[in-house]
Amino acid sequence: MTEAAIETMTFGVSADQDTGSSGGGGDYIRYINKEGEFTFRFLQDFNQWTSYWEHYSNAKRASYPCTGQKRSCPGCNSEDEKEAKASKKLLVNAIHIDPESDGEGYVNLWKMPGGTLDDFKRYSRLDGNSLTKRPFVVIRTKKDGRVSYSTDKMDREEFNTAKYADQLQDHQKALNEAYRQAWDPEALAEREADRKAAAKRKEDRENEQAAEEAVAETPEEAPPFELQSKEEREAAAPKAKLSLVAPEPEPEPEPEPEPVTEEEVTLTTESVRKSTIPQLKKLFKMAGLEVPEYEDQKDLANQLIKLLS
């Protein structure tokens, strides 16, 4: 089906004309997707709501409205039994009042569960055929794997719905878009690309976080040599003097040298090259040298050898 043909389709009926007999998603439609209480200010009276039937496709990961034509509706004729079963929904422009938000909320199209139809029809009749004079609460609960909804009304409050008139979204356009997102090949390709991009971003964030945690848990290692001078054992010297020599046979014992104010530490080229990055930085500091900013172990070792040679 072409996009132009989809745009001419009509879904659902006015909610106040729905008799309650048996019988989506899209970028514009929101829905209650978790347990808890959701408070709404409805911006349309019940006769302006749209009642329609909806299919959900696991394969497409999308909901879409039933065409109402059982012989031609792709949902009704799906080989997936769950997708072939349609569920009733109610569409209305509303503001979700979030208790954790300081603002008054945004105007969105909200998809109410079909099981709440009789409740809102009764509320409307008792309130002079109006649902805009007070806030309402929709409560979602889940028990033994089954989801159920209940409703409640709040006290009347002064509320100017007229100031939101230019923000109301068209029900039919939203339902057409939901159907297009589920069945138009280009829309399907776009959504799949968005899904993969989102998964890649999530994977990159998790890898970055894991790397940061690994670095934070790595303990600083001690230098691969021991300070042997008498001065070091008694008190830490303010600065150590380093010299780099090639490995030599163990020399004959020599007379004890005169005390020095700076500690002398003898390294070999091999021991420097085996040092870790934290150890190399410590050696730079002990030698009174400026610690380079780069983090490559090989470059740090070569620089230290060069400066001490």
CATH number at residue 183: 3.90.198
Rg (CA), the chain: 36
Q: Give residue 262's domain range.
A: 230-308
DSSP 237-292: -SSEEEEEE---PPPPP-PPPPP-SSEEEEEEHHHHHT--HHHHHHHHHHTTPPPP
Token look-up 């609960």 returns 141
Residue 212 covered by a domain:
no
pLDDT at 20 (0 to 100): 47
206 lies in some domain: no
83 shares its domain with 196 = yes
What is the pTM assigned to this prediction?
0.57
Q: What angle in degrees, to the nearest 10, is found between the helix axes of 171-183 and 185-217?
A: 80
Considering the domain architecture, whether residues 238 and 195 belong to the same structural domain is answered as: no
Mean pLDDT by groups of 10 residues along the chain of 309 residues: 53 56 52 94 96 94 92 95 96 91 83 96 95 96 94 93 93 94 82 83 89 74 55 57 58 55 64 83 81 80 79
Residues 108 and 176 in one domain: yes
Is the residue at 181 inside a domain?
A: yes
User: 25 in helix, strand or coil?
Assistant: coil
Position 122 in a domain? yes
**Degrees to nearest 5, angle at CA 193 with 190 and 199:** 140
Instruction: Indicate if the alpha-carbon torsion angle 153, 158, 162, 165 is positive or negative.
Output: negative
The reply to whether 210 falls in a domain is no
d(CA 110, CA 94): 6
Residues 123 and 118: their CA atoms lie apart, in Å, by 9
Query: In the chain, where does DSSP find H-type helix?
Result: 3-7, 81-84, 117-126, 171-183, 185-217, 230-234, 269-273, 277-286, 297-308
Q: Are residues 155 and 51 in the same domain?
A: yes
Is the residue at 217 inside a domain? no
- Do 235 and 90 share a structural domain? no
Same domain, 15 and 109: yes
Claim to verify: residue 125 and residue 183 sit in the same structural domain: yes
Give the model's pLDDT for residue 11: 65
Q: What pLDDT does 270 receive?
A: 82
Give me the residue label for tokens 């005390």.
259
Q: Assess whether 54 and 158 both reside in one domain.
A: yes
Residue pair 62/191 in contact (Cβ under 8 Å)? The answer is yes
Q: Which residues make Cβ contacts (< 8 Å) with residue 172, sequence separation at least 6?
A: 10, 11, 50
φ, ψ (nearest 5 deg) of residue 186: -65, -40
Same domain, 44 and 143: yes
Residues 149 and 253 in one domain: no
Last residue of a domain, one of 147, 181, 200: 200
Same domain for 191 and 241? no
Quick check: is 269 in a domain? Answer: yes
Same domain, 73 and 151: yes
- Residue 224 within a domain: no
pLDDT at 104: 73
Number of structural domains in the chain: 2
